């Protein structure tokens, strides 16, 4: 089952900022970035799987993460290269600011 992602050229600043404005989604992105790749099932917060799926979907549709099917699950990666090409330094700045809070 293929997963839709926006093309690099379709990533919009307002959608990226909106997706990263939620502390839980920001934490998800930080965790994926630190490990390079994470499976959807490796996250335990929030407890409800449907809520986690919703947050993954918001991040994916904004172009912040990519999801690739691996067996029965999905592998998540941060689209840092695409984001840096569209908005140089944005992701690093947001993650650095979030670490300070």
The two structure tokens encoding residue 53 = 């799926």
Tens of pLDDT, residue by residue over 41-99, are: 899 887 888 899 999 999 999 999 999 988 888 899 999 999 999 999 999 999 999 98
Tens of pLDDT, residue by residue over 2-37, are: 678 999 999 999 999 999 999 999 999 999 999 999
**């939620």: which residue's tokens?**
22
Show the 3-state SS of the chain: CCCCCCCHHHCCHHHHHHHHCCHHHHHHHHHHHHHCCEEHHHCCCCCCHHHHHHHHHHHHHHCCEEEEEECCEEEEEECHHHHHHHCCCHHHHHHHHHHHC
Check residue 2 and give its pLDDT: 64
Check residue 44 and give its pLDDT: 85
Check residue 1 and give its pLDDT: 55
């Amino acid at each position: 089952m293929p997963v839709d992602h926006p093309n690099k050229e379709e990533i919009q600043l307002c959608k990226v900022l909106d997706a990263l404005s939620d502390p839980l989604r920001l934490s998800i992105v930080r965790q994926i970035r630190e490990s390079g790749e994470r499976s959807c099932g490796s996250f335990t917060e929030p407890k409800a799987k449907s809520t986690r799926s919703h947050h993954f979907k918001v991040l994916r549709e904004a172009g912040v993460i990519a999801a690739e099917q691996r067996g029965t699950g999905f592998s998540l990666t941060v689209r840092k290269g695409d984001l840096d090409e569209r908005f140089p330094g944005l992701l690093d700045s947001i993650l650095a600011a979030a670490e300070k809070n």
